[in-house]
Structure 1
Amino acid sequence: MSKKPLFIRLAQPTYGAYLLRHHHIQAVGMEQLSHLAPPFLVMGNHVHTFDPFFVSSASPIHIRWVAGAYLFKMRGLRPLMERWIQAISKQQGRSDLYTIRTISEALKQGDVVGLFPEGTRSWDGEPVGFDMAIAKLVKIFKVPIVLLNLEGFYGLRPRWARKRRKGTGTIRVVEILSAEDLGKLSVEELYDHLTKVLGHSNREYQKENPSTYQGNRLAEGLEQLLYLCPDCHHVSTLASKANTITCTSCSYEATLDAFDQLHIHKGEHVFADVAAWHAWEKKIITSEQGTDLVYPEDQGVLFQKGEERRLRTLSKHFTLHMEAEGFTLKTKEGQTYQFAFPDIGSMIINAKNTVEFFHNQQLYRIRIQQRGSILKYVERYQALQKGETV
């Protein structure tokens, strides 16, 4: 039986209750978890930084969450992650045999394990997707799975946003699949089913349940996601203030309303929402046109190298410049690092405009200034990996 650690038993009725109340989050169907005999898996879409905290605060049973390995390397966090909340380390973006073994052992001990198959939070409220390896793992573990939808969480605070908004969110138990149910499905059938159930779309949710998310800085931070102007095609010329985003090169201007709908005031290209704009720029940057774009230098604020149990800081003052087949980092101290996309094994964004990647098997973390976009590097890399670029 999965038992709650002392820290969780103390935190849930205090901080946990405050967290749900403060963010106006309700839970629907979570009581079913207390009637389901462990071990089992809990899986959901991933939108908000606090997703695991929200779910655990609303859960009648303890859930051991799979969390990014970088958290375990941060000073002071390792004891909290390992002993106090019993999280399971996962190196994002890579196949991790250690993580699989740890999850398997936790399930054998009768624990409940929670994970977000997408592996990273959605930037625009639309599904990120995941590969078939998740379905294969579920088949191997042979335990029930609880499937959740975190509804409205994008509106509460989009990944790119600098400030939270006032609105409501719902943690909804959509479905529980027994081990017998899973046994009847092939890997392909299970993958299709998980993709459908966990592929929560904020756009579709807003169509069915129009909800407002109030704030006076609704657009601030959008330049982390929207890095390409649709009119002049200049990169990193977008700037946000209050509810407005503008291009400093051609004066393209749009505002974002409380329903997360875009209203274009100056410019030729019209997008209904942020997701539509993002889909357009992603198509451009991952095509032949992306090679022809001029990428200005980004100002970096943190450059780290991964070691066995910690992250060593190499520089806090540097520039980062993307080219067609990679990017170059130049420190204030005069050092130059070349990172070719073909030599990068995995690349994923975690907290605070920070990218984490393995280059020739060595782990690095790079953070750029708040008003830049690290996303363009990752989307260019991912397209090259998938062979989508021309």
Structure 2
Amino acid sequence: KSDFGSIKKAIRIAKQGGSIAVFPEGNLTYTGETNHFSKSLVKMIRLLKLPVILFKFEGLYLSNPRWSNENKKGRSEGYITKIIEYEQYKEISDEELYNIVYEGIYSNAYNNVTNSLFEGKKLAEGLQRLIFMDLKKNIPFVTYSKDDKLYSKVSDYELTYQTDGYVKDKNGNLETLINIDKQIKKAYYHYYHNDIIHYENESLVNENIKTTKKKLGKFNTILKKDSIILKAAKKTFLIFDFADVTEIAIQGKNKLIIYYLDKTYLLVFDKHVSMYAHLLTYQFYKEGKTYDEDRNVFTSFGLH
């Protein structure tokens, strides 16, 4: 649902005396750190003129990371961090209100994790959705996971996923997925601007036009530097030229939404495919080479 549609629905519910719960991130994070979210949330708060209750969850990421194929068992909790009355926020700027909300719900899965272990089977399976690059060779689309480990097809790059959410390399060094994600974005950014992008997988595709949904079928889906190509029987069916794509979003763990011209497309992939690689490729295309690496350490890329 669009931001505008969600706001209209929230206003209608508020007028009926109902309460509105909003999860600004839209889903679990890939890394365990709260992402920045749409500024339209501030507009909705101002339109509703209701008290805002900020509620923080902890432990949910480590029990079910967005990249993971399997759930983990561990301790999770939630609690109220702040209540903001209308009289308190009506005079402050949008930026101030946004920062208050963000700080009130911000969570880092690696804070106070020493006493919280999350156990399960096949702990690392699905990790290639996030770590889609071999960070030793700086080559994308060559990693795969099995049991509690991530491997590379082109080198001895290897990570072991721990029950506390850290990953350990072959030398015993521990790293958070938050920091690994920063390395991935930087390495893939350089690869994007210096090498050929070709990432081919199979997907089921649905086309939505307003209220009409149409199943298009199964396609070979090829990610390129400037487009996503759908092919069937070796023939090109459709090319999503990034120049004409309004937005790309990730839904759940294995679905990609493409807003293309006046239509919306839903691509459903196998569980081994990285939606994150598709999103970053699109974002790098939109940013072009005007991006200032020294000023901003890739925080504008990824889920937000």
Indicate whether the TM-score tops 0.5: yes
1:71 counterpart residue number = none
Displacement of 1:132 in angstroms is 2.7
Task: List gaps (5 residues or longer) in structure 2.
Answer: 292-304
1:212 counterpart residue number = 117
2:177 corresponds to 1:274: yes
Q: Secondary structure at the match of 2:145?
A: strand
1:120-199 residue pairs with structure 2 within 5 A? 120-199=27-106
Q: In 2 relative to 1, CA 322–301 (structure 1 residues): closer, same or farther, beyond 3 Å?
A: closer
- Structure 1 length-normalised TM: 0.70
1:221 counterpart residue number = 126
Which residue identity lines up with residue 48 of structure 2 in the other structure?
A: F
For residue 248 of structure 1, the aligned residue among 153, 174, 183 is 153
2:241 corresponds to 1:361: no
Which protein has the bigger helix share?
A: 1
2-side partners of 1:101 and 1:340: how far apart?
31
Q: Secondary structure at the match of 2:111?
A: helix
Residue by residue, what CA displacement relative to the aligned partner does 1:56-114 show, whole Å, maximum 9, x if unpaired? xxxxxxxxxxxxxxxxxxxxxxxxxxxxxxxxxx23xxxx4332222111101101011
Residue by residue, what CA displacement relative to the aligned partner does 1:162-188 show, whole Å, maximum 9, x if unpaired? 111110110211111111222242222
For residue 339 of structure 1, the aligned residue among 231, 235, 240 is 240
- Structure 2 length-normalised TM: 0.88
2:131 corresponds to 1:234: no
Which residue identity lines up with residue 262 of structure 2 in the other structure?
A: Q
Q: In 2 relative to 1, CA 337–203 (structure 1 residues): closer, same or farther, beyond 3 Å?
A: same
Displacement of 1:205 in angstroms is 4.5
2-side partners of 1:100 and 1:343: how far apart?
26
Q: In 2 relative to 1, CA 388–148 (structure 1 residues): closer, same or farther, beyond 3 Å?
A: farther
1-side partners of 2:117 and 2:169: how far apart?
19
Residue by residue, what CA displacement relative to the aligned partner does 1:146-170 show, whole Å, maximum 9, x if unpaired? 1111100001111111111110110
1:115 counterpart residue number = 22
Q: In 2 relative to 1, CA 266–247 (structure 1 residues): closer, same or farther, beyond 3 Å?
A: farther
Q: In 2 relative to 1, CA 333–323 (structure 1 residues): closer, same or farther, beyond 3 Å?
A: closer
For residue 302 of structure 1, the aligned residue among 178, 194, 204 is 204
1-side partners of 2:223 and 2:290: how far apart?
15
1:315 counterpart residue number = 217
For residue 186 of structure 2, the aligned residue among 277, 280, 283 is 283
Q: In 2 relative to 1, CA 266–332 (structure 1 residues): closer, same or farther, beyond 3 Å?
A: farther
2-side partners of 1:275 and 1:352: how far apart?
18
Aligned length: 291
Q: Secondary structure at the match of 1:164?
A: coil
Identity over aligned pairs, percent: 23
Displacement of 1:275 in angstroms is 2.1
2:277 corresponds to 1:376: yes
Q: In 2 relative to 1, CA 106–154 (structure 1 residues): closer, same or farther, beyond 3 Å?
A: same
Q: Do 2:28 and 2:65's aligned partners in 1 also have CA atoms closer than 8 Å? A: no
Moved more, 307-316 or 288-297: 288-297
Residue by residue, what CA displacement relative to the aligned partner does 1:103-160 show, whole Å, maximum 9, x if unpaired? 1111011010111122343111112102432223212221011111110000111111
2-side partners of 1:163 and 1:179: how far apart?
42
Give the CA RMSD over aligned residues: 2.1
Q: Do 1:147 and 1:197's aligned partners in 2 also have CA atoms closer than 8 Å? A: yes
Q: Secondary structure at the match of 1:200?
A: coil
Q: In 2 relative to 1, CA 131–99 (structure 1 residues): closer, same or farther, beyond 3 Å?
A: closer
Which residue identity lines up with residue 331 of structure 1 in the other structure?
A: A
Which residue identity lines up with residue 245 of structure 1 in the other structure?
A: L
Q: In 2 relative to 1, CA 157–302 (structure 1 residues): closer, same or farther, beyond 3 Å?
A: same
Q: In 2 relative to 1, CA 120–163 (structure 1 residues): closer, same or farther, beyond 3 Å?
A: closer
Q: Secondary structure at the match of 1:282?
A: helix
For residue 230 of structure 2, the aligned residue among 313, 322, 329 is 329
Displacement of 1:330 in angstroms is 1.0
Which residue identity lines up with residue 221 of structure 1 in the other structure?
A: G
Residue by residue, what CA displacement relative to the aligned partner does 1:202-250 show, whole Å, maximum 9, x if unpaired? 12342xx641001231101101111111011222111111111110111
Q: In 2 relative to 1, CA 321–367 (structure 1 residues): closer, same or farther, beyond 3 Å?
A: same
Which residue identity lines up with residue 247 of structure 1 in the other structure?
A: S
Q: In 2 relative to 1, CA 230–333 (structure 1 residues): closer, same or farther, beyond 3 Å?
A: closer
